């Protein structure tokens, strides 16, 4: 379902100023801690969402991302710490007095109300005049691409259409902040892909600050201005999608976001490392000189694979994904790696084939230890 939370201090019969009038809010989490018995859901979370930004909270189940969103919405109270919106401490402000709109995973529209009435529900609660309610509902249904669906009831709409109505309802009172709690997870893949493009388009056109919880990496990386990766209640890294993918700050982020190979290597000095017979520049800090063994972090798409009857590496299996095929290979030293190749190039690399695997000549991340 979705809900719009009236702003503190706003009189009945008015709509909250904000997103659709231009200008999102700045949101700050300061030292948030929340525990449920012996389970710590948030452990000193510090995070800022800039005005007009779409920030994705990403992480495995139990990492604290949904708890953080619920604290921002006012559905959970932190044990300690603060939540600020445009510098105002709203930590103890009741949920129904926060200027935010929320869309949940289960959209659950009111079954006895048509789409227009669902969108206008919050306006009716706020005693906005009927003519203005109807006008605003029509405006929003048009905005989400459902201008002809105002008279339809939830059972007459697809899941994607219902979630568009839920989104329109969340925007009806022009909230300063939009909160999305895995709103696409109940939809099939094609509808999900289309709707995430629509949500991003709307968010950019409205300029509304948006916090989006998801466990889907593709959603987070494709939609967000920045992605905050949480693990066991702590913030591991918050960065733009490309930086998060190319330069993970911690081993957890390297493993959780995308796929990462770890190939044995040795430091050669002068900011270089040798792996699989190739010398590569080190990106970022390297282990101290004299470290006995290092691991070179390489994404599957950054491994070059060539068929070679005399090669020391072996293709173990291949998984076809349309334009791309993922190869699983054993290197000469026994290290198992994954490589992504255009399917046309991978056709000659059948399981059992001998091959030559080399990291692409580009800067790499290095960590101490052996695989």
What is the tens place of the pLDDT at every residue in 178-235? 999 998 887 888 888 999 999 999 999 999 999 999 999 999 999 999 999 999 999 9
Q: Pick the residue with more confidence: 10 or 241?
A: 241
Question: pLDDT band for position 285 (50/70/90)?
Answer: confident
Q: Which residues contact 53 (CB under 8 A, 6 or more apart)?
A: 24, 209, 210, 225, 226
CA dist 346 and 157 (Å) reads 43
pLDDT score, position 232:
96
CA dist 45 and 130 (Å) reads 43
pLDDT score, position 14:
41
269: pLDDT strictly greater than 80:
no
**Domains of the chain: which residue ranges?**
2-254, 262-368
pLDDT score, position 86:
96
pLDDT score, position 185:
85
Q: Which of 117-121, 290-294, 364-368 has the highest mean pLDDT?
A: 117-121
> How many percent of the chain have pLDDT more than 70?
92
Q: What is the pTM of this model?
A: 0.87
283, 355 in Cβ contact below 8 A?
Answer: no
CATH topology of domain 262-368: OB fold (Dihydrolipoamide Acetyltransferase, E2P) (2.40.50)
Inter-CA distances, 34 with 68, 71, 141, Å: 9, 9, 38
CATH topology of domain 2-254: Rossmann fold (3.40.50)
Domain pair 2-254 / 262-368, same fold: no
Mean pLDDT of all residues belonging to the chain:
90
What is the tens place of the pLDDT at every residue in 306-332? 999 999 999 999 999 999 999 999 999
Q: What is the mean pLDDT of residues 91-105?
A: 92
pLDDT score, position 270:
75
What is the end-to-end Cα distance of the chain in Å, rounded? 46
What is the tens place of the pLDDT at every residue in 25-55? 999 999 999 999 999 999 999 999 999 999 9
């Amino acid at each position: 379902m979705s809900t719009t939370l009236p702003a503190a201090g706003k009189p009945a019969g008015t709509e909250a100023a904000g997103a659709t009038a231009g200008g999102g809010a700045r949101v700050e989490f300061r030292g948030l801690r929340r525990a449920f018995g012996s389970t710590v859901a948030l452990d000193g979370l510090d995070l800022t969402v800039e005005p007009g930004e779409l920030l994705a909270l990403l992480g495995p189940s139990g990492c604290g991302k949904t708890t953080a969103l619920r604290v921002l919405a006012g559905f959970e109270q932190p044990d300690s710490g603060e939540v600020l919106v445009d510098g105002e401490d709203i930590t103890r402000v009741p949920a129904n007095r926060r200027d935010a709109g929320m869309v949940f995973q289960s959209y659950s529209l009111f079954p006895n109300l048509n789409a227009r009435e669902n969108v206008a529900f919050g306006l009716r609660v706020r005693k906005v005049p009927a003519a203005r309610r109807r006008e605003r509902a029509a405006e929003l249904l048009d905005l989400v691409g459902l201008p002809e669906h105002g008279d339809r009831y939830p059972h007459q709409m697809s899941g994607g259409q219902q979630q568009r109505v839920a989104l329109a309802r969340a925007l009806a009172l022009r909230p300063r902040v939009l909160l999305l709690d895995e709103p696409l997870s109940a939809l099939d893949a094609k509808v999900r892909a289309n709707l995430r493009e629509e949500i991003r388009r709307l968010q950019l056109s409205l300029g509304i600050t948006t916090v989006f919880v998801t466990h889907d990496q593709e959603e987070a990386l494709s939609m967000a201005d920045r992605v905050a990766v949480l693990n066991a209640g702590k913030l591991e890294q918050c960065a733009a999608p490309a930086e998060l993918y190319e330069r993970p700050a911690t081993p957890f982020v390297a493993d959780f976001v995308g796929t990462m190979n770890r190939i044995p290597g040795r430091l050669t000095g002068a900011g270089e490392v040798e792996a699989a017979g190739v010398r590569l520049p080190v990106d970022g800090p390297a282990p101290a000189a004299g470290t006995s063994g290092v691991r070179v972090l390489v994404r599957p798409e950054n491994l070059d694979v060539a068929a070679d009857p005399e090669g020391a590496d072996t293709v173990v299996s291949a998984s076809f994904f349309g334009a791309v095929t993922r190869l699983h290979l054993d290197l000469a030293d026994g290290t198992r790696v994954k490589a992504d190749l255009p399917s046309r190039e991978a056709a000659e690399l059948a399981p059992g084939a001998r091959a030559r695997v080399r990291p692409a000549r580009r800067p790499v991340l290095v960590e101490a230890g052996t695989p």
